[in-house]
A and B are shown apart, each in its own frame.
Chain A
Amino acid sequence: MRSLSCVLVREGPSDDWFLPIFLRRALEAMVLESFPACREIQEIRSMVKAGNQHPEPVLKALDGERGAFDVVLYHHDGAPPTKSDPVIARMRRTWDNSAFTEPLVTVVPMRETEAWILADHEALARALSVRRLRNGLVSGAAVEGCPDPKAVLEGLLKGEAGMNPAKPGVVRDFYISMAEFADVGVLRKVPAFQQWWNDMIKALEGLGYQHG
């Protein structure tokens, strides 16, 4: 019986509210669809102390986890590309040259993780417990063009649900709810998420998960 264990190197603490939960759910859907021989998806463990700007602390944190994971998910927001691309490329280079044999799969939302949270309106209405969302709100693949998805989400909390996003725990619990409610199929219409999906399939194929 094959089991899949992933660790996440994320950019900031707020990414922990969404990514580990949603990516685990996405992996469940992926494995059901493409890797039927795999029987178990473990919780995605966030490497809180790894940092993500410099490869050294990342490698150091993962060194302590050797043998306890199959894939490293390396998250870095994509905007602006002039800043993010070199950081991601440096991490990739360092990883490929390291003694680690596990694949490193990048998780790169076009702007920031919040854009992915914005994609599924049905889930948003459910998490906010409102009958419907206002018209004209960006959704689906278009979320990657949204200049400030964080501000849009805060506006939804305030305007639609009457909650104050500045209060402790409000944004956190909203993101966690969205991680549980957002439809993986809807997110797959967002190009940057689909890119992660494709990369993850390649990584799992490279590890032979299709053979069980």
Chain B
Amino acid sequence: MITRIEIDGFKSFENFALDVPPFLVLIGTNASGKSNLLDALSFLSKAAVQGLDSAVAAVRGDARGLFRRRGEGTRVDRMRFAVEFLLESAPLGLPTRWRYELDLAWAEPEDALEGIVVEGHQLVALSSAQDRWPAVRGMAPEWFADGLVSYQGGRVVSLPIGPLEVPSGGMGLLHMARVALNDRKYLRDLTDDDIHVLEDDTVVRVAWTELAQMRFLHLEAGALRLSSELGGPQFMDTTGRDLPNYLRSLTKATGSKERPLGVVGEIKMHLAGLAREVTDFAIVEDGHRRDVRLEFSSPYEQEIGAEFASDGTLRMLAILAALHDRGCVAIEEPENGVFPERFRHLLALTGGLVTDMRQPPERDALRVPLPYRQAIFTSHSPIVLDEVPSANIAFLDMTTVLENGAASRVSRVRRLREDQGPVRVEGERWARVTESELSRFRAGVEASA
């Protein structure tokens, strides 16, 4: 569960910080920074999990172009990211509130090509005094009593940058750090603190898992219509490709004897409520063709292939699948191609599917806490303002900062003013969004129009 993100120097961000609730909708006009924010999260998670080359490939723009451009035309040379999370699978005894910090620079090393290099990264355990989240978002006391939220202020895991012989595209930064932490030469020098090294390794592994579970969706109808290959990727990619295999993997991960489909049964039920033209679907595994495909049905028509399903139905199914998986999913403009009333319902559903920290933790029949779920949407739809609590909405637009004698445009993010609530809130850089601005957004009027 991501609880805060800080970005500096990446694309349109300059000293940007945002507390992230379990369900967050980013609203704003075009080019206000909504997609850049998802790019930043994607870049960070990909860099940590798959490596810098994969991170650059996953976002819009080339490596140098990711560094913020100043108003006078030059680019900054450093990017800094920090994410705070509540770790879901930290072993008993280890704190669960951590912060991952990553500092990158543009460099031209003597023995390598120019590019993005790691200046440093570390995992920092939060202290309860540092943790803004319970106060900002609210958290039921059971989360603390059950040990699901725990602290160890002052603990820092300094992460090695990794063995230099590994190319940057070959391994994620956190994976490289683990390799270095476990290097025999490194371990041989250890004495009484061996236990800390082992614990540190566990913390890095759990943080890696947290970031690896982040998924980013920018769905494309063409990709959603494709079949999967038997033995092919089991996770849906950003465009929605391999949705059939993804649904199979969800079935396998969550099914039981009595509920063979697991969460896919729930997905079917919600799809029937969202996309009235179909009432059911089957995941067809074809051993002869060695593929997996989706077939939809309604009381009036059977075996409707994905190629004949509506764009909206396929998008809804992909979104529902991602929302029923564990971890954080970020979805670009889920309202595209969706009838407004259905988008309204999707927003309400999402609010119920994510983990609600204000309530006691939900547990399964064996008293095991349910997997944490989080959703981040970007949207242009005014429906968001009617359906989503204002505490779950962040409003992005651009502001001007003056640097080196020139004006630079950077993204800013603001919370919405609560009904009769204060305009200025301590710890927030900008005043909250007032009703007059929201009225313009509702009416689809640009702020400067």
Contact = CB atoms under 8 A, between A and B. Distances in A.
Nearest to A159: B365
A176 B259 contact: no
A177 interface: yes
B351 A168 contact: yes
A181 B297 CA distance: 12
B279 A128 contact: no
Contacts of B273: 17, 169, 172-173, 176-177
Interface in A160-183: 160-164, 167-170, 172-174, 176-177, 180-181
Interface stretch (B100-108, B164-172, B261-269, B325-333): B261-269
Nearest to A167: B352
B386 to A, nearest CB: 14
Contact of B269 (A131, A164, A167, A177): A177
B299 interface: yes
Contact of B259 (A161, A164, A174, A181): A161
A75 interface: no
A198 to B, nearest CB: 24
A131 B265 CA distance: 11
Contacts of A172: 273, 345
Interface residues of A, number: 25
Interface string A120-138: 0000001111111000000
Contacts of A163: 266
Interface residues of B, number: 28
Nearest to A177: B272
Best-surrounded residue of B260, B272, B280, B352 (most CB of chain A within 10 A): B272
A129 B266 contact: yes
Interface in A91-135: 126-132
Interface string B346-367: 0011011100000000101100
Interface of B: 257-261, 264-266, 268-270, 272-274, 276, 279-280, 298-299, 345, 348-349, 351-353, 362, 364-365
Q: Which 6 A-B pairs have the closest CB atoms?
A: A129-B265, A173-B273, A167-B352, A168-B352, A169-B349, A168-B348
22 contacts: A17-B273, A25-B299, A127-B269, A129-B266, A129-B269, A130-B258, A131-B257, A131-B259, A131-B260, A132-B258, A162-B259, A162-B365, A167-B353, A169-B273, A169-B345, A169-B349, A169-B352, A172-B273, A177-B272, A180-B272, A180-B279, A180-B298
